[in-house]
């Protein structure tokens, strides 16, 4: 069981890289807490930004060529 207060403390004290990892590694229970904290739409936007940032850090090119 996830300690909600501990997770929220991690979020509030996280730097950018730490927040990205929290968003990318969240399991279903953590995701529920994050959605409750941020709201559904802001959570989705943050997660998308985290995914894009992670791809850039790994050197993944998201361009599609036809």
24: phi then psi, degrees, rounded to nearest 5: -80, -25
Q: Where along the chain do its domains lie? A: 4-57
Q: Does 64 score more than 90 pLDDT?
A: no
Tell me the CA distances in angstroms from 59 to 6, 7, 48, 54, one per residue in order.
32, 29, 16, 9
How confident is the model at residue 61, as a pLDDT?
61
Give the global pTM: 0.77
Residues 46, 43: Cα–Cα separation, whole Å: 5
pLDDT digits (tens, 9 = 90+) for 8-35: 999 999 999 999 999 999 999 999 999 9
pLDDT digits (tens, 9 = 90+) for 26-59: 999 999 999 999 999 999 999 999 999 977 666 6
- pLDDT band at residue 1 using 50, 70 and 90 as cut-offs: confident
């Amino acid at each position: 069981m996830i300690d909600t207060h501990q997770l929220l403390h991690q979020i509030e004290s996280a730097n950018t890289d730490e927040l990205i990892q929290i968003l990318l590694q969240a399991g279903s229970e953590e995701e529920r807490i994050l959605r409750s904290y941020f709201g559904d739409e802001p959570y989705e936007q943050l997660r998308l930004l985290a995914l894009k940032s992670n791809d850039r850090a790994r050197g993944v090119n998201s361009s599609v060529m036809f």
